Amino acid sequence: MIDENVMEIFGCVADCRSRLNPPLPQSYFGNCLVTILSKASRVDLVGKDGFIIAVEVIGEAIKNQMKDEELILNCSWYREFCVVDMKQTLTIAGSPKFNLCDVDFGWGRLEKTEIISIDNSSGTSMSISKYKDSDRDLEVGLSLPKIQMSAFAAIFDHVLCFL
């Protein structure tokens, strides 16, 4: 039975340098990130149109929050993030625009990168980064407890058979 009252939360970060007035230059070395949180009821997400609903809810949250200069400047997004039930949250770390594969610490180009901060017990996290050998591909990381990871892998393999 699905608890209709449970809200599922999706979180990601967005670069706000160009959203400020005047905008910060691309050469600004620092961060100007906000957390984007979107919420939908579990019952809607597991329904027939769940994927479409998720895309619409996430897109609307990004659009609204990126237009809200007060939210960006006053960091009010942070207060909301601090009270979120992380067990009902999927967060995304990283970005294909932040190319970790080109980082060189003096030993040459990196062979492999992983965002280890996604390995936590408070919620579900994924990482997204640019694939090192292609501008068109992404590398996706996922960290789950062993039982959940085994179930995810089985479902993922099953779905791949139909592609």
Q: What is the pLDDT of residue 129?
A: 81
Q: State which fold the 1-84 domain adopts.
A: Chloramphenicol Acetyltransferase (3.30.559)
Give pLDDT tens digits for 75-86: 777 777 777 777
Tell me whether strands 89-93 and 124-130 are parallel, antiparallel or unpaired: parallel
Residues of the chain with CATH 3.30.559.10: 1-84
Give pLDDT tens digits for 109-150: 777 777 777 776 666 788 888 877 777 888 888 888 889 889
Q: Would the pTM count as exceeding 0.75?
A: no
